[in-house]
Amino acid sequence: MRHFFLIPMCLVGGLTLSACAEKADETVERAFQDVNVVDENDLNDVMLTVADPNEAVDYFRRTLKGNPNRIDLQRGLSKSLIRAKRNTEGVSAWTKVSRMDGATPDDAVDLADALIRNGDWDKAKKVLDGVPPTHESFKRYRLEAMVADANRDWERADSFYETAVGLTTRPAGVMNNWGYSKLTRGDFADAERLFGEAIRQDTTLFTAKNNLVLARGAQRNYSLPVIPMDQAERAQLLHTMALTAIKQGDVTTGEGLLREAINIHPQHFEEAVRSLRALEAS
Protein backbone atom coordinates (compact mmCIF):
# COMPACT_ATOMS: atom_id res chain seq x y z
CA MET A 1 0.00 0.00 0.00
CA ARG A 2 2.87 2.32 0.67
CA HIS A 3 3.83 2.15 -3.00
CA PHE A 4 0.30 3.09 -4.08
CA PHE A 5 0.36 6.17 -1.84
CA LEU A 6 3.83 7.14 -3.04
CA ILE A 7 2.80 7.82 -6.65
CA PRO A 8 0.01 10.35 -5.85
CA MET A 9 2.30 12.04 -3.35
CA CYS A 10 5.00 12.36 -5.97
CA LEU A 11 2.48 13.75 -8.41
CA VAL A 12 1.28 16.31 -5.86
CA GLY A 13 4.88 17.19 -5.09
CA GLY A 14 5.63 17.61 -8.78
CA LEU A 15 2.61 19.81 -9.29
CA THR A 16 3.54 21.87 -6.25
CA LEU A 17 7.10 22.31 -7.49
CA SER A 18 5.80 23.23 -10.94
CA ALA A 19 3.43 25.81 -9.47
CA CYS A 20 6.23 27.22 -7.34
CA ALA A 21 8.47 27.44 -10.37
CA GLU A 22 5.77 29.28 -12.34
CA LYS A 23 5.22 31.71 -9.47
CA ALA A 24 8.95 32.22 -9.19
CA ASP A 25 9.17 32.95 -12.92
CA GLU A 26 6.28 35.43 -12.63
CA THR A 27 7.93 37.14 -9.68
CA VAL A 28 11.24 37.42 -11.51
CA GLU A 29 9.49 38.72 -14.64
CA ARG A 30 7.61 41.34 -12.63
CA ALA A 31 10.83 42.32 -10.93
CA PHE A 32 12.54 42.80 -14.28
CA GLN A 33 9.56 44.80 -15.53
CA ASP A 34 9.84 47.07 -12.50
CA VAL A 35 13.57 47.47 -13.08
CA ASN A 36 12.94 48.28 -16.75
CA VAL A 37 10.39 50.96 -15.78
CA VAL A 38 12.84 52.54 -13.36
CA ASP A 39 15.64 52.38 -15.93
CA GLU A 40 13.40 53.90 -18.59
CA ASN A 41 12.30 56.72 -16.30
CA ASP A 42 15.92 57.42 -15.43
CA LEU A 43 16.88 57.44 -19.10
CA ASN A 44 14.00 59.75 -19.94
CA ASP A 45 15.16 62.16 -17.24
CA VAL A 46 18.71 62.04 -18.57
CA MET A 47 17.49 62.76 -22.08
CA LEU A 48 15.51 65.77 -20.83
CA THR A 49 18.37 67.29 -18.86
CA VAL A 50 21.95 66.42 -19.76
CA ALA A 51 21.69 64.78 -23.18
CA ASP A 52 22.19 66.66 -26.43
CA PRO A 53 18.70 67.98 -27.34
CA ASN A 54 18.78 66.55 -30.87
CA GLU A 55 19.84 63.14 -29.56
CA ALA A 56 16.94 63.35 -27.12
CA VAL A 57 14.57 64.09 -30.00
CA ASP A 58 15.78 60.97 -31.84
CA TYR A 59 15.48 58.87 -28.67
CA PHE A 60 11.88 59.90 -27.94
CA ARG A 61 10.84 59.48 -31.58
CA ARG A 62 12.27 55.96 -31.66
CA THR A 63 10.57 55.07 -28.38
CA LEU A 64 7.24 56.52 -29.52
CA LYS A 65 7.15 54.19 -32.54
CA GLY A 66 6.41 51.28 -30.22
CA ASN A 67 4.33 53.33 -27.75
CA PRO A 68 2.44 55.97 -29.79
CA ASN A 69 -0.21 56.59 -27.13
CA ARG A 70 2.12 57.27 -24.21
CA ILE A 71 1.69 60.91 -23.34
CA ASP A 72 4.83 60.99 -21.16
CA LEU A 73 6.97 60.10 -24.17
CA GLN A 74 5.18 62.66 -26.34
CA ARG A 75 5.88 65.27 -23.67
CA GLY A 76 9.52 64.24 -23.67
CA LEU A 77 9.69 64.69 -27.44
CA SER A 78 8.00 68.09 -27.20
CA LYS A 79 10.36 69.35 -24.50
CA SER A 80 13.38 68.05 -26.40
CA LEU A 81 12.33 69.86 -29.58
CA ILE A 82 12.04 73.13 -27.66
CA ARG A 83 15.44 72.53 -26.02
CA ALA A 84 16.88 71.98 -29.51
CA LYS A 85 15.31 75.32 -30.61
CA ARG A 86 13.25 73.47 -33.20
CA ASN A 87 10.27 75.60 -32.28
CA THR A 88 8.02 74.95 -35.27
CA GLU A 89 8.25 71.20 -34.67
CA GLY A 90 7.83 71.88 -30.95
CA VAL A 91 4.52 73.65 -31.58
CA SER A 92 3.22 70.63 -33.53
CA ALA A 93 4.39 68.23 -30.83
CA TRP A 94 2.84 70.21 -27.97
CA THR A 95 -0.38 70.58 -29.97
CA LYS A 96 -0.54 66.78 -30.20
CA VAL A 97 0.08 66.45 -26.45
CA SER A 98 -2.71 68.89 -25.65
CA ARG A 99 -5.18 66.72 -27.58
CA MET A 100 -4.19 63.38 -26.04
CA ASP A 101 -6.00 61.57 -23.24
CA GLY A 102 -4.48 62.65 -19.95
CA ALA A 103 -3.50 66.14 -21.11
CA THR A 104 -3.32 68.72 -18.29
CA PRO A 105 -3.42 72.53 -18.05
CA ASP A 106 0.39 72.44 -17.78
CA ASP A 107 0.48 70.96 -21.29
CA ALA A 108 -1.57 73.90 -22.59
CA VAL A 109 0.84 76.31 -20.89
CA ASP A 110 3.78 74.53 -22.54
CA LEU A 111 2.01 74.82 -25.89
CA ALA A 112 1.61 78.57 -25.33
CA ASP A 113 5.31 78.78 -24.49
CA ALA A 114 6.20 77.02 -27.75
CA LEU A 115 3.92 79.36 -29.71
CA ILE A 116 5.58 82.42 -28.17
CA ARG A 117 9.02 81.05 -29.01
CA ASN A 118 7.76 80.60 -32.57
CA GLY A 119 6.50 84.20 -32.67
CA ASP A 120 2.80 83.31 -32.76
CA TRP A 121 1.59 85.63 -30.00
CA ASP A 122 -2.10 85.66 -31.01
CA LYS A 123 -2.43 81.87 -30.86
CA ALA A 124 -0.51 81.83 -27.58
CA LYS A 125 -3.02 84.24 -26.09
CA LYS A 126 -5.93 82.06 -27.24
CA VAL A 127 -4.34 78.99 -25.68
CA LEU A 128 -3.70 80.80 -22.38
CA ASP A 129 -7.26 82.16 -22.38
CA GLY A 130 -8.43 78.54 -22.47
CA VAL A 131 -6.44 77.54 -19.37
CA PRO A 132 -8.77 77.28 -16.34
CA PRO A 133 -8.40 80.30 -14.01
CA THR A 134 -7.93 77.88 -11.12
CA HIS A 135 -4.65 76.70 -12.64
CA GLU A 136 -2.11 78.98 -11.01
CA SER A 137 1.53 78.38 -11.88
CA PHE A 138 4.63 80.53 -12.23
CA LYS A 139 5.06 79.65 -15.90
CA ARG A 140 1.44 80.41 -16.73
CA TYR A 141 1.57 83.91 -15.22
CA ARG A 142 5.02 84.66 -16.66
CA LEU A 143 3.69 83.87 -20.13
CA GLU A 144 0.50 85.84 -19.47
CA ALA A 145 2.68 88.83 -18.56
CA MET A 146 4.73 88.48 -21.74
CA VAL A 147 1.59 88.30 -23.90
CA ALA A 148 0.13 91.35 -22.16
CA ASP A 149 3.43 93.16 -22.80
CA ALA A 150 3.27 92.30 -26.48
CA ASN A 151 -0.25 93.73 -26.61
CA ARG A 152 0.88 96.86 -24.70
CA ASP A 153 -1.66 96.05 -22.00
CA TRP A 154 0.55 97.44 -19.24
CA GLU A 155 -1.91 97.12 -16.36
CA ARG A 156 -2.45 93.41 -16.97
CA ALA A 157 1.26 92.91 -17.57
CA ASP A 158 2.17 94.43 -14.20
CA SER A 159 -0.47 92.33 -12.45
CA PHE A 160 0.76 89.10 -14.04
CA TYR A 161 4.43 89.90 -13.38
CA GLU A 162 3.67 90.59 -9.73
CA THR A 163 1.78 87.30 -9.40
CA ALA A 164 4.58 85.37 -11.14
CA VAL A 165 7.21 86.83 -8.79
CA GLY A 166 5.22 85.54 -5.83
CA LEU A 167 5.05 82.00 -7.24
CA THR A 168 8.78 81.26 -7.56
CA THR A 169 11.79 81.06 -5.29
CA ARG A 170 14.01 82.27 -8.17
CA PRO A 171 12.38 85.49 -9.38
CA ALA A 172 15.46 87.13 -10.96
CA GLY A 173 14.55 86.28 -14.54
CA VAL A 174 10.95 87.48 -14.32
CA MET A 175 12.07 90.65 -12.49
CA ASN A 176 14.47 91.32 -15.36
CA ASN A 177 11.64 90.85 -17.87
CA TRP A 178 9.38 93.12 -15.85
CA GLY A 179 12.12 95.74 -15.70
CA TYR A 180 12.62 95.56 -19.46
CA SER A 181 8.88 96.06 -19.89
CA LYS A 182 9.13 99.22 -17.79
CA LEU A 183 12.17 100.32 -19.80
CA THR A 184 10.28 100.05 -23.11
CA ARG A 185 7.44 102.15 -21.63
CA GLY A 186 9.84 104.91 -20.61
CA ASP A 187 9.41 104.27 -16.88
CA PHE A 188 13.17 104.36 -16.33
CA ALA A 189 13.23 104.79 -12.55
CA ASP A 190 10.98 101.78 -11.93
CA ALA A 191 12.94 99.78 -14.49
CA GLU A 192 16.16 100.60 -12.63
CA ARG A 193 14.61 99.43 -9.37
CA LEU A 194 13.48 96.11 -10.85
CA PHE A 195 16.83 95.42 -12.49
CA GLY A 196 18.53 96.10 -9.16
CA GLU A 197 16.21 93.63 -7.42
CA ALA A 198 16.90 91.02 -10.11
CA ILE A 199 20.65 91.38 -9.57
CA ARG A 200 20.25 91.03 -5.81
CA GLN A 201 18.43 87.75 -6.44
CA ASP A 202 21.06 86.53 -8.92
CA THR A 203 24.39 88.34 -9.01
CA THR A 204 25.46 86.38 -12.11
CA LEU A 205 22.62 87.69 -14.31
CA PHE A 206 24.58 89.87 -16.71
CA THR A 207 21.52 90.72 -18.81
CA ALA A 208 19.99 92.47 -15.80
CA LYS A 209 23.28 94.33 -15.18
CA ASN A 210 23.35 95.54 -18.78
CA ASN A 211 19.69 96.56 -18.61
CA LEU A 212 20.34 98.41 -15.35
CA VAL A 213 23.03 100.47 -17.10
CA LEU A 214 20.59 101.22 -19.94
CA ALA A 215 17.97 102.41 -17.46
CA ARG A 216 20.46 104.66 -15.67
CA GLY A 217 21.84 105.98 -18.96
CA ALA A 218 18.33 106.82 -20.15
CA GLN A 219 18.13 109.13 -17.12
CA ARG A 220 21.54 110.61 -18.08
CA ASN A 221 23.13 108.99 -15.08
CA TYR A 222 26.42 107.80 -16.57
CA SER A 223 28.03 106.34 -13.45
CA LEU A 224 28.17 102.59 -13.05
CA PRO A 225 25.96 101.17 -10.30
CA VAL A 226 27.50 99.52 -7.24
CA ILE A 227 26.89 95.88 -8.15
CA PRO A 228 29.05 92.73 -8.30
CA MET A 229 31.05 92.67 -11.54
CA ASP A 230 34.42 91.45 -12.75
CA GLN A 231 36.82 93.49 -14.86
CA ALA A 232 35.49 92.21 -18.18
CA GLU A 233 31.90 92.89 -17.14
CA ARG A 234 32.85 96.41 -16.01
CA ALA A 235 34.34 97.11 -19.44
CA GLN A 236 31.25 95.77 -21.21
CA LEU A 237 28.93 97.84 -19.02
CA LEU A 238 31.01 100.96 -19.68
CA HIS A 239 30.67 100.25 -23.39
CA THR A 240 26.88 100.01 -23.04
CA MET A 241 26.85 103.24 -21.04
CA ALA A 242 28.99 104.96 -23.67
CA LEU A 243 26.66 104.01 -26.53
CA THR A 244 23.66 105.20 -24.50
CA ALA A 245 25.34 108.56 -23.90
CA ILE A 246 26.26 108.98 -27.57
CA LYS A 247 22.71 108.17 -28.73
CA GLN A 248 21.41 110.88 -26.40
CA GLY A 249 23.83 113.45 -27.78
CA ASP A 250 26.33 113.37 -24.91
CA VAL A 251 29.17 112.56 -27.30
CA THR A 252 32.09 113.77 -25.20
CA THR A 253 30.91 111.71 -22.23
CA GLY A 254 30.43 108.71 -24.47
CA GLU A 255 33.90 109.02 -25.92
CA GLY A 256 35.45 109.11 -22.45
CA LEU A 257 33.48 106.04 -21.40
CA LEU A 258 34.64 104.17 -24.50
CA ARG A 259 38.28 104.93 -23.78
CA GLU A 260 37.83 103.80 -20.18
CA ALA A 261 36.20 100.55 -21.32
CA ILE A 262 39.11 99.83 -23.69
CA ASN A 263 41.72 100.61 -21.04
CA ILE A 264 40.29 98.45 -18.24
CA HIS A 265 39.28 95.38 -20.28
CA PRO A 266 41.62 92.49 -19.42
CA GLN A 267 41.93 91.64 -23.11
CA HIS A 268 41.67 93.48 -26.41
CA PHE A 269 38.13 94.93 -26.50
CA GLU A 270 37.52 94.91 -30.25
CA GLU A 271 33.86 95.96 -30.08
CA ALA A 272 34.65 99.09 -28.06
CA VAL A 273 37.63 99.89 -30.31
CA ARG A 274 35.37 99.77 -33.39
CA SER A 275 32.84 102.03 -31.67
CA LEU A 276 35.56 104.56 -30.80
CA ARG A 277 36.97 104.54 -34.34
CA ALA A 278 33.48 105.04 -35.80
CA LEU A 279 32.91 107.95 -33.41
CA GLU A 280 36.25 109.57 -34.28
CA ALA A 281 35.60 109.12 -38.01
CA SER A 282 32.23 110.84 -37.75
Write the pLDDT tens digit of every residue in 157-199. Answer: 999 999 999 999 999 999 999 999 999 999 999 999 999 999 9
Rounded Cα gap, residues 260 and 63, in angstroms: 56
pLDDT the model gives residue 282:
80
Among 79, 83, 120, 116, smallest CA distance to 97 is for: 79
DSSP 100: S
CB neighbour list of residue 251: distance below 8 Å, 6 or more residues apart: 245, 279
The burial of 273, by beta-carbon neighbours within 10 Å (0-12 exposed, 13-18 middle, 19 or more buried), is given as middle
3-state secondary structure of 229: coil
The answer to whether residues 130 and 107 touch, using CB atoms and an 8 Å cutoff, is no
* Spatial separation of the C-alpha atoms in residues 175 and 165, rounded to whole Å: 7
CA distances from 240 to 141, 173, 215, 225 (A): 31, 20, 11, 13
**pLDDT tens, residue by residue, 221-258:** 999 999 999 999 999 999 999 999 999 999 999 999 99
Residue range 252-275: average pLDDT?
Answer: 94
User: Residue 181: which residues within 8 A CB-CB, separation 6 or more?
Assistant: 145, 149, 154, 157, 161
Strands (E), 85-241: none
pLDDT at 40: 63
Predicted confidence at residue 59, as pLDDT, reads: 93
Pick the CATH number of 104-169 from 1.25.40, 1.25.10, 1.10.8, 1.10.155: 1.25.40
DSSP H or E stretch at residue 43: helix 2-49
| pLDDT at residue 12, as a whole number | 45
Average pLDDT over residues 17-37: 46
**Nearest Cα residue to 209 out of 223, 218, 219, 196:** 196
| Local confidence band at 23 (pLDDT 50, 70, 90 cut-offs) | low
Task: Say if CB 231 and CB 265 are below 8 A apart.
Answer: yes
CA distances from 50 to 40, 63, 83, 270, 280 (A): 15, 18, 11, 34, 48
Residue 71 pLDDT > 90, yes or no?
yes
Residue 6: band (very low, low, confident or very high) from pLDDT cuts 50, 70, 90: very low
Q: Indicate the residue type of 185.
A: R
pLDDT digits (tens, 9 = 90+) for 34-68: 444 446 667 788 888 767 999 999 999 999 999 99
